[in-house]
Structure formats: C-alpha cells, structure tokens
Amino acid sequence: MSLPFPNSLLATLAVIGILLPTAVFGYLFYRSRTSDPLHRRSEASEPKTKGEADEYLPTLEISDTPSDSPSEFILPLPLQKEKGEAEEVMLRELASLARDENLRGLIESRLDDMKDEDEGVPRALAMVGLLDEIRILSPASEGQDAQLLQTIDAMIRKQLETMGSQVIDDDEWDPSRQKAVETRRDLPGGAESIIAEIVASGLMFEGRVRRKQSVILHTEP
C-alpha cells in the first residue's frame, strides 16, 4: 500500500528531475571545452589589456651605478628579424640611450659606417674602428654612458668572433701582430721594447693578420 505524496512535494521532485540532468550535462560540456588544447590556445591568443600585456614584455633596466656586467641591459628584440639585423637593432637602441648627445651621435654615425661596408674584412675593420672610439671615450664617460660603452664593446667583440675575426689590442710587443708608428728610444741598452700607447687596434680575420695593431713603442737607444 503506497502513501499519497503531497502535491507540493511531487512538484519539487519534478523540478529536480528536470534541472539535475541539465546541470550535469552543462558541467560535462564545460569540462570538455576547457580541456580541449585548441580552446586553450585560442584563449592564450586573445588580446590582453595594456596592463596585462606589459607584464610579458622584456624590460630595459638602467642603473647609474657602474657595473662589470653588461647583462644589466635587457632589450626587446624583434624575433622575426635575422640575427645580424636583431643585433643592429639592439646596438642602435643602446646608442639612443646615451645621455651625452655627442656620444650618441658618434656611435650612431659609426653604426651607419659599419652597415655601409661590405661583409667580411671591410665590415670587420669598421667594427674595430668603433672599438677604438669606445676605448678613447671610455675614460671620460661616467654612469649610464660608461655602462653603454662597455655593453656595446662586448657586443661588437662577440659579433667579430662569430665572423671568424679577432681584435688585436695586445699590451705586449709582437712585431708579427703590431707595428710601431712612433718610437721613443728612452730605455736602457738591452731592455725589451715596451708599448707606451695603443694608437689603433688590429684585426685577425680567419686566422690571418689583416691589419696590424698600431702602437707607440718604448725601445732601447
């Protein structure tokens, strides 16, 4: 013998019987969509607001305190560029940060000279010329400009290495790699020649001396 149910209870059970399967189906559909790799990729590709997008951009960190590490400069590079073009972009970005207007103009002019030269020895010699400019300017530069010069110097030397080149800027006299553009005969007899000053750096390209380093030399009478 069954007991009669109140009409309100029957109505409640009927509603639950309709809503519960709908809720379960909706939950399962949501889980299937969010676990789909294509769905996740489409969400990742949606444009973000400026504040959100800025969190993913590389930043440029500049410090007024001199540092031995050129890694303080972190610049965004166009990934679609070829390596050589990307390096040029970074060098020009660094040059634009120079606080001294004359220094900024000089570096940009030397970068233009490098770009205009043919690849190989001519371009490598233009790069060595920029290194000589940096060597001359560095003692008078301070703070951020000193760091910029240090960073550009390291980048140019790295580029030369990838080209199979090496800068000749030795401190010890070696006539096979250097030439004396001025001689000061002020050392006692029998003394070994000493480099007094570097006038211009030399260049090794693919294992051969393409330009000797120019120096001022102390020698015996």
Using one digit for the tens of pLDDT, what is the confidence trace for 52-92?
434 433 344 444 444 444 444 444 444 434 556 778 888 88
d(CA 190, CA 148): 43
pLDDT tens-place string over residues 140-153: 899 989 999 999 99
Residues 71 and 98 in one domain: yes
Residue-range definition of the domain harbouring residue 83: 59-163
Q: Would residue 190 count as lying in a domain? A: yes
- Grouping H, G, I as helix, E, B as strand and the rest as coil, residue 168 is strand
Residue 71: alpha-carbon gap to chain centroid: 8
Name the residue with higher pLDDT: 137 or 37. 137
Confidence of residue 51 (pLDDT cuts 50, 70, 90): very low
Residues 102 and 126 in one domain: yes
Pick from 110, 163, 177, 173: nearest CA to 137 = 110
Residues 67 and 77 in one domain: yes
pLDDT tens-place string over residues 150-166: 999 999 999 999 999 99
pTM (two decimals): 0.60
Does pLDDT of 125 surpass 90? Answer: yes
Residues 89 and 119 in one domain: yes
Tokens 């001689």 label which residue? 183
Q: Domain count for the chain, please give it.
A: 2
Residues 107 and 182 in one domain: no
pLDDT tens-place string over residues 158-196: 999 999 999 999 999 999 999 999 999 998 888 899 999
Pick from 72, 92, 90, 73: nearest CA to 81 = 90
- Return phi, psi of residue 185, to 5°: -85, 75
Residues 169 and 146 in one domain: no
Residues 76 and 138 in one domain: yes
